[in-house]
Structure 1
Amino acid sequence: MSGAIIQFKNVTKQYDNDPPILNDVSFEIERGKFYTLLGPSGCGKTTILRLIAGFTEASEGEIVFNGKKINHVPANKRQVNTVFQDYALFPHLNVFENVAFGLRIKKMKNAEIERKVKEALSFVNLSGYETREIREMSGGQRQRVAIARAIVNEPEVILLDEPLSALDLKLRTEMQYELRELQRRLGITFIFVTHDQEEALAMSDEIFVINKGKIQQSGTPTDIYDEPINRFVADFIGESNIVEGRMMEDYRVEFVGREFECVDQGLNKNETVEIVIRPEDLEITTLERGKLQVRVDSQLFRGVHYEISCYDQDGNEWLVHSTKKATVGDKIGLYFDPEAIHVMRHGETEEEFDRRLEAYSDVEANGK
C-alpha cells in the first residue's frame, strides 16, 4: 500500500509564553521510505519525533496517521516504535528478554515470543546472542538490540532519535549502511533524526531540513545538495561558497564584478540574489583560463582531496576541493561550468522554488 502514512497539518508546539519550538509545520510522510529530520540542536526535529510517538501533544494543528487524527491517542496505542539515543535497554535483562519485553506485556504465548525474537535478532545479525548480557555487548551490538526490540512489535513506523551519535566514526559508518539495508528489507517507514548532514545525505530517501521550528526545505539528498533554497540550507548541507549577485536576465548573472552564463531563469531582471558554488565544482587552472583570479591563502590535505582557501581581489573567500595541490601565496585561476552556479532568491518559499525548478525542466525538455 502506498501513499501518506503520517501528515502534519499546521502543527505548532509551544510551552507557555516561550517562542514556539515548532511553528505552523505541515508535511507528509509516505509509506516505506527512509526520512531524515536534519537540523542544528534546538531546531525542533526531536519535537516532531515526540509528537509522532505520542510523548507530547501539539499546541495547535492536526497529526494524522493512516488517515485518522491521533493528537490525543496515547503513545502505547500508536503503531510506532522509538529507538533512543541511549538505546534505553534494560541492563538487568539479557538480549532475548530485552527484545521480548514488549511482547510479554502483550501477554503473547512463549512459543510465539521465541519465534518473533529469534526472527528479529536474525534481521539485525545477532542470532546466537540471545543469552548475552547487555553489559557484554559493544555499542554497535546494543544499537542492534534496540532496533530488534523496535521491529519485533511489527510497527508501521520506526522513529530513530540520533541513535548513532555515541558510536565512533568507523562503526557509525558501518551502522549507516546496516540501518539503510534493514529499512529496505523490512519495507517499513523509518524517520531518523540527526544533525550530521553527511549521515543524512548517505541514508535518506527524503530529507527535511529544519531550522528555528520551520522546515526550510524538503526533498531528495541530491535535490537539497544541488538546489538549496536559501543560505541556511546551502551552508548546513555540505560546504558552499556564497556571494551576493544580480540576475541580469534569464541565464545571465553578475557577481564579483563580472557577468557569467548560468542555467537559472524565471527571476526578475536586475534582481539581487545570492550565488552558490560548491567547492568541488571549482577547478584550479591558469590565470588566463580562470573565470576567477584568486590568491591561495591556506591548504589542508583531507585524504581524498586538498581543501584550499583562496581570496579574490574584493576579499571574497573561495573554498576549493581539488586533487591538485596548490602553493600558498600563489595566484591561480578558478574555472567553473554554468551548471555549477546556483542562484538563490531572497525570501523565496519552497513552493515558489519548486515552480521555478519545474520551469527549468520544461525548458530542458523543449530545448533552451
Structure 2
Amino acid sequence: MSTEQTIIQFEQVTKRYDDGETVLKSVSFEIERGKFYTLLGPSGCGKTTILRLIAGFLEPSEGEIRFDGKVINRVPANERLVNTVFQDYALFPHLNVFENVAFGLRIKKLKQAAVEAKVLEALRFVNLKGYEKREITELSGGQRQRVAIARAIVNEPEVLLLDEPLSALDLKLRTEMQYELRELQRRLGITFIFVTHDQEEALAMSDEIFVMKEGTIQQSGTPTDIYDEPINRFVADFIGESNIVPGSMAEDYRVQFAGKTFECVDGGLRPNEPVEIVIRPEDLEITTPERGKLQVKVDTQLFRGVHYEIVGYDEAGNEWMVHSTKKVEVGERIGLDFDPEAIHVMRFGETEEEFDKRLLAYEEIGHDQ
C-alpha cells in the first residue's frame, strides 16, 4: 500500500485500562482513503475501542496511531479530522433538525450564510431536504440516523466513524439504510469506518473487513476473501454458516475427511498433517446417495423462505448443513455433491501472518494455491 493512499495507521497499538484489563493487544493495520471499512466481531472484542482511539476519546497504552503520517496519540478529539456517529445518535432533543446539524458549525463561529448553505447541503446529501424545522421527537429511527450523519459530514471530516448505528432499527429499515450508507460513502468519497457485530452488514457494505476476537485482528480482506478463504475456525464460524469437519492432507490438492479422499485446490501443507475442512452450506448440492461424494441421513429440515436448511450426518458422524431449494424428508438418505473449489483447507490455529507466509513460500516454488 502506498503512503499517499494511507490515511490511518495503527502500529503495535495496545490499550490497557486502569483495572489491568487489556482490550487491544499489539494491533497493527492500515486504512486507505476513500474506502468503506468494517470492524467486525462479537461484543468485547475491541472494535469500539479502536474507533474511540481514532476519534481521540482514548489514548493508547502502547504503540502509535498515525493520521496522514503524523502521530496523533495525544492530539485532542476536537483537533482531529474525524467525526463519529454514535449508536444512540446523541442528538439534542431540544433542537430541531437544522440546529442539530448546525451545532458544530456554530461552535466554529461561522457566519450565518455559510452555516445555512452547509446545513442544507448536508441534509440534501442524506435525503432530508425540507426537514429543517422538524423536531427530533417527530422523526423515525431512520430519519434520526440521517440527521446524525448529516451533523457529522457537515464538518467535512476526512474519516467518518460509525459505531453500530443500525442496531436500533428494525430488519427492513436496517437493510434500506445499508444501501443508503454505502451509496452515501461513494458520493462523499471519504473514508468510512463502521463497527458492527452483524456479519451480513459487514459483507454487504464493506470494501474491506477486519474480523476481531479478544483484542486482536484475526483476518482482514475483502468480503469475498473473508467469506471464501477464512483463516481459522473462528472466522469461518463467525462469517456465515459453515460446515467444519476434521481431516488431513493426503498430498497437494488432495485431502481426506469423512473417511474418503477428495480433490481440492489447496496446497502447501505436509502429507498427513491434521487440518480442518470448511464447506459452505450453499456449496453442497443434493443428489441421490449413489451419485453423491458423501452420503448423509437427514436429521432436521427448516424452511427459511428462499431455501430449506437441511441438517444431516454422514457415516463418520460429521454434521452437514445444506441450503437447498429441494425439499427432502427427515430420515431420508441423500447424497451430497460439491466441487473441489468448494473445499477450503485450514491449518489448526493458523494466524493470518502465518497463512500469508505459507502462501508466499508456496507461490515462490512455482505453485498456484
Summarize deviations over 1:69-126 as a string: whole Å, max 9, x none.
0000010010000000000000000000000000000000000000000000000000
Uncovered stretches (5+) of structure 1, i.e. residues with no partner? none
After superposition, where does 1:249-288 map in structure 2 within 5 Å?
249-288=251-290
Q: Residues 362 and 368 of structure 2 are in contact (CA less than 8 Å); yes or no, is this contact kept in structure 1?
A: no
351-360 or 246-255, larger mean C-alpha shift: 351-360
Whether 2:5 is the aligned partner of 1:3: answer: yes
State the Cα distance separating 1:16 from its structure 2 match.
3.0
**Paired position in structure 2 for 1:126:** 128
State the Cα distance separating 1:355 from its structure 2 match.
4.2
Q: Residues 208 and 215 of structure 1 are in contact (CA less than 8 Å); yes or no, is this contact kept in structure 2?
A: yes
What secondary structure does 1:18 align onto? coil
What secondary structure does 2:246 align onto? strand
State the Cα distance separating 1:315 from its structure 2 match.
1.8
Aligned mates of 1:77, 1:95 — CA distance in 2 = 25
State the Cα distance separating 1:358 from its structure 2 match.
5.3
State the Cα distance separating 1:60 from its structure 2 match.
0.4
Q: Residues 268 and 359 of structure 2 are in contact (CA less than 8 Å); yes or no, is this contact kept in structure 1?
A: no
Aligned mates of 2:203, 2:364 — CA distance in 1 = 27
After superposition, where does 1:127-142 map in structure 2 within 5 Å?
127-142=129-144
Given the two structures, how large is their TM-score scaled by the length of structure 1? Answer: 0.97
After superposition, where does 1:290-301 map in structure 2 within 5 Å?
290-301=292-303
What secondary structure does 2:21 align onto? coil
**Paired position in structure 1 for 2:81:** 79
Aligned mates of 2:124, 2:258 — CA distance in 1 = 58
What secondary structure does 1:309 align onto? strand
Aligned mates of 2:8, 2:32 — CA distance in 1 = 7
**Paired position in structure 2 for 1:20:** 22
Summarize deviations over 1:259-296 as a string: whole Å, max 9, x none.
11000011111111100000000100011111111100
Aligned mates of 1:187, 1:281 — CA distance in 2 = 36
**Paired position in structure 2 for 1:237:** 239
State the Cα distance separating 1:2 from its structure 2 match.
4.7
Aligned mates of 1:367, 1:60 — CA distance in 2 = 39
What secondary structure does 1:155 align onto? coil
Aligned mates of 2:96, 2:362 — CA distance in 1 = 57
Specify which of 305, 321, 324 is matched with residue 322 of structure 1. 324
What secondary structure does 2:161 align onto? strand
State the Cα distance separating 1:348 from its structure 2 match.
2.0
**Paired position in structure 2 for 1:35:** 37
Given the two structures, how large is their TM-score scaled by the length of structure 2? Answer: 0.97
**Paired position in structure 1 for 2:90:** 88
Q: Residues 264 and 360 of structure 1 are in contact (CA less than 8 Å); yes or no, is this contact kept in structure 2?
A: no
Aligned mates of 1:356, 1:204 — CA distance in 2 = 27
The 1:360–1:324 alpha-carbon spacing in structure 2 relative to 1, beyond 3 Å, is: farther
**Paired position in structure 1 for 2:66:** 64
Aligned mates of 1:275, 1:69 — CA distance in 2 = 42
Specify which of 44, 51, 63 is matched with residue 49 of structure 1. 51
Aligned mates of 1:77, 1:52 — CA distance in 2 = 12
**Paired position in structure 2 for 1:106:** 108
Q: Residues 142 and 173 of structure 2 are in contact (CA less than 8 Å); yes or no, is this contact kept in structure 1?
A: yes
Aligned mates of 1:140, 1:298 — CA distance in 2 = 38
What secondary structure does 1:232 align onto? helix
State the Cα distance separating 1:367 from its structure 2 match.
8.0
State the Cα distance separating 1:256 from its structure 2 match.
1.1
Specify which of 209, 212, 220 is matched with residue 210 of structure 1. 212
Aligned mates of 1:215, 1:38 — CA distance in 2 = 9
Aligned mates of 1:253, 1:156 — CA distance in 2 = 48
After superposition, where does 1:215-230 map in structure 2 within 5 Å?
215-230=217-232
Uncovered stretches (5+) of structure 2, i.e. residues with no partner? none
**Paired position in structure 1 for 2:148:** 146
Q: Residues 47 and 195 of structure 2 are in contact (CA less than 8 Å); yes or no, is this contact kept in structure 1?
A: yes
Q: CA RMSD in A?
A: 1.6
Seq. identity, %? 80
Aligned mates of 1:16, 1:101 — CA distance in 2 = 34
